[in-house]
Structure 1
């Protein structure tokens, strides 16, 4: 008779452990489940070297979203990013998207410079003004070999 209470207690703690693992996986993985607080816009760049999916999107140093998809437009010879932006942020069609480097390690992120007088960009719209990533290795090699 005393065997069942021990098994019940062990089962209860195993269940709590599984719930804790699932919760931490969702929180640490930054999984967006059942949330509809972002909208998607696209931006095309000549070069996005070092940028990855889930790279942050910032405006004035504040994170406002992340990169959700990276594709190649072979017709126009451009890299096309899909950016997930918080709905509370309204981007205007004269906003500028730039690929920037953060810190000494060289993590890349997308910086949005807000526009001033344009129309709002709708869901699935396009940021027209873009600035590609600066390749530090290319600049150093040009300096070393005297092609500056």
Structure 2
């Protein structure tokens, strides 16, 4: 194995870089791309400066690790702001909405019309037809109070 490692050329690193970038493209996780960049840097560096294989491996690992940690720290300090943070949390989108009870709330449970559907609701005892306001969500059950 050390025979193969001792013959590492610049183009080996470029091929590794392209392979890691392809892996990142197929299975994005913002992990492989930093090691792809690290492999590219080592490959380009070898064109200018010949390095023993041990330093190549160490440089690749250190550059990739530092780049990954720097990116993770940057993302923690600058989180992405999504335009629709509740996109896949349908019930949360309805907090503040006013609904009409289809079934009376008895023993804390009832049903209310929302758009073209009917949702389970929890809240104080109220008769059918009463107007309620959504104050929260627990799974697929809306928490309501009288409007």
TM-score between both structures, scaled by the size of structure 2: 0.24
> Which one scores higher on RCO, CA 8 angstroms, separation ≥ 6?
1
Structure number having the greater strand percentage:
1
